[in-house]
Copies of this chain bind each other. A is one copy, B any other.
């Protein structure tokens, strides 16, 4: 993905992470790994941690420290009610955008 993608991810990456957490709780390193598997190869670790800190400060997630077999303790994030609201709002906005863009793409040929 090119540099365009960097800008396009803004705001969307947060939605993606919230969606991942809505499936089940997860910790930063795990989320980074899952994103890489799903094709987001070049998303920096630091980006995810910064994002997680932000949504923690906005109280969209609950946090639990869990000891790890390997390495430092994990911060496991789980989506709370407020987080679910934000996620729902995200999907609404996304749907709106996706519809408009689909129309534009059709019209463009």
Q: Which A residues are within 8 Å of any B CB, using their own CB? A: 1-2, 4-12, 14-16, 19-20, 22-23, 38-40, 86, 89-91, 93-94, 96-98, 100-101, 103-105, 107-108
Contacts and interface: CB of A to CB of B under 8 A. Distances in A.
What secondary structure prevails in chain A residues at the interface with B? Answer: helix
Contact of A22 (B12, B19, B86, B108): B108
How many copies of this chain does one complex carry? 2
Contacts of A90: 4
B89 A4 contact: yes
A12 B97 contact: yes
Contacts of A9: 11
Nearest to A7: B11
